[in-house]
Each structure stands twice: as C-alpha cells, then as structure tokens.
A and B are shown apart, each in its own frame.
Chain A
Amino acid sequence: MKILTTPRLGRCIGCHSCSLACARLVHKRLSWDMAGIRIGSAGGLSTGFEARTCLACNPAPCATACPTGAYAQRRGGGVIVRKNLCIRCGLCAPACPVGAIYLDPTGEPFVCLHCGRCVPYCPHDCLEMKDVGPGSPESADLKEVSS
C-alpha cells in the first residue's frame, strides 16, 4: 500500500503542475483547486511553497466525520472515496487538521486518493509514493471505483 508524500517540497518552484495533473487526470477538470494536492505560498512567494495534501491519517478524522460512508478509512492511511454516497454536507473539510480537503462551490469535496498520478509531473522530484505496508485486494478495488 502506498501513500503520496512530499519529502522534497523545499525544491518546489510553484508551477502547479501536480495540482493541474490531478485535476486533469483524476477529476477530468481544468483546475488548480479540484485536486488532491494544492500548492500555496507559505506567506508570500519569498518564503517558498507549501503543499496542501492528505497526510494519510489512520484513523482519518475526515472518515470519522463523514456521516454517509462516502469517506471510509483506507488501509495504509487516508480515505477511500465513494462519490455516489456523498451528500455534500461539507463535514469532512473542517475535520481535516491540515486543510487537505477542498470543497468546491457546490460543496463537493476533493482529497488526495494516493494514486500517484501527479508524481511524474513534478519537475523537481518533490513528490514520492511511499510504501506503508501491504494493502488488501478489497481496498484496491475500492480505490479503482473512486478514481
């Protein structure tokens, strides 16, 4: 089971290629918000960049907060997302301690699925998929559904 990590974010140049790739490939949108990883400046461009992305909590507070099971605990950390179960209540976003969940204007939440599709688009190799132990076939199937 792998999770997305940002071990070399100090190298980030703020090109937003990761966010745009996530929106393009996972969510079929042109956006830098509708993405599981979003880049912000850490207090103005002169202080560098920070990534808002899921830290793969286990247990995940957002999954605990979700009243419908749209967000369910993922083995290895983070959440399995079943969009068809989401009622857009918005409870997941404030439950995330690091602000990793974006709610679009309709209330639809966007969070990292730890699929790794953003990783090859980073020109400075800031991102890395990290192995956190074996997953289960069941969770792998669910991830496929969610993405």
Chain B
Amino acid sequence: MIRDYFRVLVVDLASGKGKVENLPGRDEVAGGSGLGALLFTKYGQVNSPWDAPEQPLIFAIGPLTGYFPLMSKTVAAFKSPYHDQYAESHAGGRSALALKFCDLDALVITGQASRPSALVIGSRHLELKDVSYLWGLDVYESGKMLRRMLKGSGHRSIMRIGPAGERRSPMAGINVDSYRHFGRLGGGGVMGAKNLKAVVFIGDGNFPLMEGKDYPKLFEAVHQKLTATDMMQKYHNLGTPVNVMVLNELKALPWRNLQATTDPEATGISGERFAEVALLRNHACAGCPVGCIHIGFSREKFHADYRYFYRQVSYDHEPIFAAGSMLGVTDCFAVLDLLDVTEQMGLDVMSAGVALAWATEALEKGVISENDTLLPLKFGHHEVYEEALRHLAYGVNDFYRLLAQGTLKAAAHYGGQDFACVLGQEMAGYATGEVFLASQALGFRHSHLDAAGYAYDQKHYDKDIGKALAFLEKDEASRAFLTSLVACLFARGVYTDELVAECLQVVGYQALADNMGAVARHIQKLRWQTRLATGFNPAGVTIPRRFTEITTFKGPLDAEYLRALKDAYARRILELGSPEPD
C-alpha cells in the first residue's frame, strides 16, 4: 500500500494493547533508518536509561520493501545497553516482508511485560502471549517451540532471544529466523529488559499493485541486473567469506586480537575451504534472489560408537573473523562449533569473539588470571572458547559480567586498554587502514557498513584528510538513504541513485524520487541529532594503541594521520548533528 504517511503500530507490553498511528513524514525521512530516528524522537526518552520500561524498541521498513528485489532488510532502533545511546541494528531473513505484509511501516514496542512474553503481530492480529515456559531456553529450542505454537509457516518471521538476552547482556543479539541477526549493540538485551522472549510477524496481508506495465517492467530490469549479470557474483558464489583470503593477503585480516594482520593458516578458514567441505546449502532473505546466506554444519560425536548429532549453522566473513582468525582458530569446523554455541546463547558473535580475544591476551600478559576467566583461554584452543562463550552469555562471575558490558569496560577495570580492539564497539573484521579505523570508531552504527572506509583505504594512498572526510560524509548519507528504503547494502552497486529514483517513482513516491539528496542529508542529520541527544561525544572517542601498531599492505599504520582524521571526523559529526540547518 502506497501511503504518504507511516502506518505504525505502537504496543504497550504492560497492558498488552496496541494502537495504530498514522504519522506524517514520509517525504522527509522515507522509512527504515530515517523512520527509526523519527520514531525514537517521538517515543524515546533521551535522558532515561536504556532499560527504562518506557524506552521503545522499534522495527521499521521502507517505501520499497517488498516491491523490488533485495529491498529485504529491517531496521531495529533502540537505546543501546552497550553505550546507553541511540542505536540501529539491521537484519533480513523474512522480517522485512513479513512486517510489510502485516500492513505496517513500523512496530514500536514500549513498556515491560509482567511475564516473559511473545508479541505476535499479523495484518489482523495482535496478541501478547505468556511464554514463561520458554524463558531460559536457547535460541534453537525457542524457535522450535514458537514454530509449533504459531500459525503462518513460511510467511512469518520469528525473532527471539537466548540466555544472553534474557540476562540483558549488551552483547546479546536478536536472532531472526534462525540464520540472520540484529546482532550488534545489544538489541537482545533490550528485549530481555522488556521480558520479551520473541516478536513474531505473521505476514498475512496483501496489497493491490500499481496499474500499467511500468512497474513489472522495471522490476524485471532490476531482477536481471541482480541475477543475470556478475554484479552480485561475490555474494552468490562464496558469499562474504571470500573476504577472508582477500584481506589476509592484503595484510588486513585481524589475527589473535590483532597481533597480526596476516597468517598462512588462513587457508583453513577461507571461504573456499568452507564451501568445499562444510557448506550444506544456501538460503535467501525473503525477496532476494541472490541468496547469500551460507549454511554449514556443526557435528558432535556424543558416543564412542560413532553416534553423532549435527546442527546447521550460518557463516559469513564477520563470524569467521570473530570466532576464527581473531581467536586463532584455523579449522573451519571448529569455527562452526563456536558459531553454533554463539547462536544457542543468543550472543553477538563479533562482540563476543573480540572480547574473548582480548581476554586471551590479557590472560597471557597476566593482566587477568584464570581465577577470572575460569578457563585456560589460549589462542587456537576452540574447546575452551565454547565454554567461555557460555560463561559470557550467562555471566557466571564478575569478570564475565563486566566483559559482557564491553571489552573497554573490562579493560578499564583490569587494565589492558591498549590492546582492547574496540572501535566504538568491538571491531569488525577489517584492518585496512586509517580511514576504516576512524569510520568504525565514529560511525553511526560503529559498523564497517556505515561507510566504505575499508574500500577507500584500498584505493587511496594519499593522506588527504579533507578528501577522506568528504568521502565518509557523502558515503554515509548515501547508505543512510539506502537503509531507509530498506535496501540490503550488498545491492548498493546495483541500486544507483538513478535506479532508486526510478523505483520510487514507479511505485508512487514521486516527492522522494525528486529529493533523494536532500532527504538523505536530512536522515543523516536526524540520526546524528538523535545519537548526540542521547549522550554520544565523538570528541571523546579513543582508538586503542593496538590499532596504531599494525602493519597493512600499505606498511605501518600512520598514527598521526589516524588521530588527525579521527579528530576532524568527530568535529564534522558534531556539526552534522547540530540543531542548526547544515
């Protein structure tokens, strides 16, 4: 349904009741990232802590969701348990299309349920179910139970948390349809604080399409670009794990808590290795013919008589970095075993892997002791990491409870800040150079996807702060617009400005098509304003010394250039988020 407003369902978990609100702003913020910020401005409390019951948990889609291929992602927005500031996390699976077919542009969840609950939404359905019996179950078990309990097989999205989320961990993600995640910045902890074990979208609505042949014709052209050309080959073939060898050869893959940027053992966890021996099959997000999701298996021999069980585990570059190279684990099946435990616990694998890498080095250096870790953590020893992941999820002692708050918080207490691989949050799997480091440290989501700093590093050998800054600002605005539609960023090469304008126009959003640049800048500004209002101080962000000690394909990192770039970017963010017109 094409609307010039947003149809938003606001549910209060305390009462179990909801209200449909029609909000203006479509032509100003589009949807997705822009809508998340708009809704947080309306429903969020900038000065209350993240776990105050009134804080909203927002799920938003965009004007092109479902209408074109790869417009298949959902934006989750919330005040983060990680830094107690406004945050976004993105996921696919079936979440976007299912929410679309609930006939909603966004769901806003406020309040706290009196008992562990599941919120079930459909196009003609709203129900808050008491699921106390699921509290304590892991992500897999919860998913199985919910599938059996609820209708809509194939056309629903089941988002749930595991033990980490129930404990309100800042490193807890929200599992989406088994193989995708709102992983970063503690969305799972927000659900836990709300006593919300699961959110389910039953996508049982439908919409009339535009008259005429223009829309199906344009759809066909987009579909062709995405499937018949080689533009998406990388994602269709080895998937994101193709990056493992590429980055390793570039000396840009973090190893053993970033003590190295390359290692010959990378071949054991390469995309090629996974594909050859561990890949079971591929999956797609609903509405995406590319199908970049790669699923491997984790097999466990539980009896000497060759008795096994197995689980299917999705893998990507970032999880392989976090549970593989960063922990010195160089066997693909050992990585899958770690990913399997991470999934069960409902942890964000990137945060957890990087945190345990720091803990391992801290233990080596005597900064902490085995009294803290309870385990002889050692790079490459994946069995101890399996147990450590459970300790981290359950918060079994003071050390693991503090570590789950963030590596830098643990380091501030125990020492070892210099080698905490934190760039706003635990680092992503790239060590390409100064622009990436500044981009993740200061980026809105502290994600390598906020702006393509990693690509800029690979293409530019000058150290021109003005040029780098201009690139980061422009790329961020462009991506913020795409994530307001809500496009998968893997399709950013296909969805050029011209094509996006055509898509918006043919669907009926002429004003958005005509003002994309201005809307993108407005969304960028609104997001920064919202983040700054909740306490973000870009000038106070530090980049730990470890990052300045690395050597990449360009040679030793230039610490002075990094510092100057970071400071300049911080000043620019303060300007972008200022109340005055930019």
Residues of B within 8 A of A41 (CB): 153-154
Could you mark each residue 11-54 of chain A with 1 if its beta carbon is under 8 Å from any beta carbon of chain B, else 0? 00111110010011100111111100011110111101100000
Instruction: Answer whether A13 and B154 are a contact pair too, CB < 8 Å, given A32-B97, A32-B101.
Output: no
Q: Does A105 contact B (CB under 8 A)?
A: yes
B287: contacting residue among A16, A31, A105, CB under 8 A = A16
Question: Cα distance A34–B155 when bound, in Å?
Answer: 12
Residues of A within 8 A of B155 (CB): 32-33, 38, 40
Q: Does B83 contact A (CB under 8 A)?
A: no
Q: How far is the CB of A62 from chain B (nearest CB, A)?
A: 21
Closest to B147 in A: A44
Q: How far is the CB of A123 from chain B (nearest CB, A)?
A: 4
Q: How far is the CB of B432 from chain A (nearest CB, A)?
A: 31
Q: Does A144 contact B (CB under 8 A)?
A: no
Do A46 and B312 have beta carbons less than 8 Å apart?
Answer: yes
Q: How far is the CB of A95 from chain B (nearest CB, A)?
A: 21
Instruction: Answer whether A45 and B124 are a contact pair too, CB < 8 Å, given A15-B286, A20-B287, A29-B206.
Output: no
Q: How far is the CB of A43 from chain B (nearest CB, A)?
A: 8
Residues of B within 8 A of A28 (CB): 208-209
Q: How far is the CB of A92 from chain B (nearest CB, A)?
A: 19
Q: Does B43 contact A (CB under 8 A)?
A: no
Q: Does A131 contact B (CB under 8 A)?
A: no
Question: Cα distance A43–B285 when bound, in Å?
Answer: 17
Question: Cα distance A95–B208 when bound, in Å?
Answer: 28
Residues of A within 8 A of B471 (CB): none
Residues of B within 8 A of A20 (CB): 66, 287
Do A24 and B288 have beta carbons less than 8 Å apart?
Answer: no
Q: How far is the CB of B99 from chain A (nearest CB, A)?
A: 13
Do B289 and A123 have beta carbons less than 8 Å apart?
Answer: yes
Residues of B within 8 A of A38 (CB): 154-155
Residues of B within 8 A of A31 (CB): 101, 205-207
Q: How far is the CB of A93 from chain B (nearest CB, A)?
A: 15
Residues of B within 8 A of A16 (CB): 97, 286-287
Question: Cα distance A49–B153 when bound, in Å?
Answer: 11
Do B219 and A24 have beta carbons less than 8 Å apart?
Answer: yes
Instruction: Answer whether A33 and B312 are a contact pair too, CB < 8 Å, given A13-B291, A15-B291, A28-B209.
Output: no
Q: How far is the CB of A88 from chain B (nearest CB, A)?
A: 16
Residues of A within 8 A of B288 (CB): 15
Question: Cα distance A124–B284 when bound, in Å?
Answer: 11
Question: Cα distance A63–B245 when bound, in Å?
Answer: 58
Question: Cα distance A32–B285 when bound, in Å?
Answer: 14
Closest to A18 in B: B289
A14: contacting residue among B203, B209, B284, CB under 8 A = B284
Closest to A51 in B: B154
Instruction: Answer whether A34 and B219 are a contact pair too, CB < 8 Å, given A14-B284, A16-B286, A44-B144.
Output: no
A24: contacting residue among B153, B209, B227, B282, CB under 8 A = B209
Q: Does B572 contact A (CB under 8 A)?
A: no
Instruction: Count CB-based A-B contacts (< 8 Å).
Output: 92
Q: How far is the CB of A34 from chain B (nearest CB, A)?
A: 5
Closest to A123 in B: B289
Residues of A within 8 A of B67 (CB): 30
Do B290 and A123 have beta carbons less than 8 Å apart?
Answer: yes
Q: How far is the CB of B298 from chain A (nearest CB, A)?
A: 12
Residues of B within 8 A of A24 (CB): 209, 215-216, 219
Closest to A10 in B: B281
Q: Does B178 contact A (CB under 8 A)?
A: yes
Q: How far is the CB of B18 from chain A (nearest CB, A)?
A: 20
Instruction: Answer whether A13 and B284 are a contact pair too, CB < 8 Å, given A41-B153, A105-B124.
Output: yes
Q: How far is the CB of B526 from chain A (nearest CB, A)?
A: 28
Residues of A within 8 A of B124 (CB): 105
State which residues 99-144 of A face B: CB under 8 Å. Answer: 104-105, 121-124
Residues of A within 8 A of B474 (CB): none
Do A34 and B206 have beta carbons less than 8 Å apart?
Answer: yes
Q: How far is the CB of A10 from chain B (nearest CB, A)?
A: 9
Which of B69, B143, B284, B311 has most chain A Cβ within 10 Å?
A: B284
Q: How far is the CB of B280 from chain A (nearest CB, A)?
A: 10
Question: Cα distance A135–B167 when bound, in Å?
Answer: 64
Do A121 and B144 have beta carbons less than 8 Å apart?
Answer: no
Closest to B211 in A: A28
Closest to B178 in A: A45
Do A30 and B289 have beta carbons less than 8 Å apart?
Answer: no
Q: Does B223 contact A (CB under 8 A)?
A: yes
State which residues 197-238 of B face A: CB under 8 Å. Answer: 203-209, 215-216, 219, 223, 227
Question: Cα distance A29–B216 when bound, in Å?
Answer: 11
Do B177 and A15 have beta carbons less than 8 Å apart?
Answer: no
Q: Does B135 contact A (CB under 8 A)?
A: no
Could you mark each residue 7-22 of chain B with 1 if its beta carbon is under 8 Å from any beta carbon of chain A, else 0? 0000000000000000
Do A44 and B209 have beta carbons less than 8 Å apart?
Answer: no
Do B143 and A123 have beta carbons less than 8 Å apart?
Answer: no
State which residues 123-148 of B face A: CB under 8 Å. Answer: 124, 143-144, 147
Q: Does B179 contact A (CB under 8 A)?
A: yes
Question: Cα distance A24–B67 when bound, in Å?
Answer: 9
Kindly list 13 other residue pairs between chains A and B, CB separation below 8 angstroms, not including A32-B101, A32-B155, A38-B155.
Answer: A13-B291, A14-B284, A15-B286, A17-B289, A20-B66, A30-B67, A30-B209, A40-B154, A44-B178, A45-B177, A46-B311, A123-B227, A123-B291
Residues of A within 8 A of B (CB): 13-17, 20, 23-25, 28-34, 38-41, 43-46, 48-49, 104-105, 121-124
The 5 closest A-B pairs by CB, nearest first: A40-B154, A31-B206, A15-B284, A13-B291, A123-B289
Residues of B within 8 A of A (CB): 66-67, 69, 97, 100-101, 124, 143-144, 147, 153-155, 177-179, 203-209, 215-216, 219, 223, 227, 281-291, 293, 311-312
21 pairs, CB–CB < 8 Å, chain A vs chain B: A13-B293, A15-B284, A15-B288, A20-B287, A23-B206, A24-B219, A28-B208, A29-B206, A30-B207, A31-B207, A32-B101, A32-B203, A33-B155, A33-B206, A38-B154, A40-B155, A44-B147, A46-B311, A48-B281, A121-B223, A121-B289
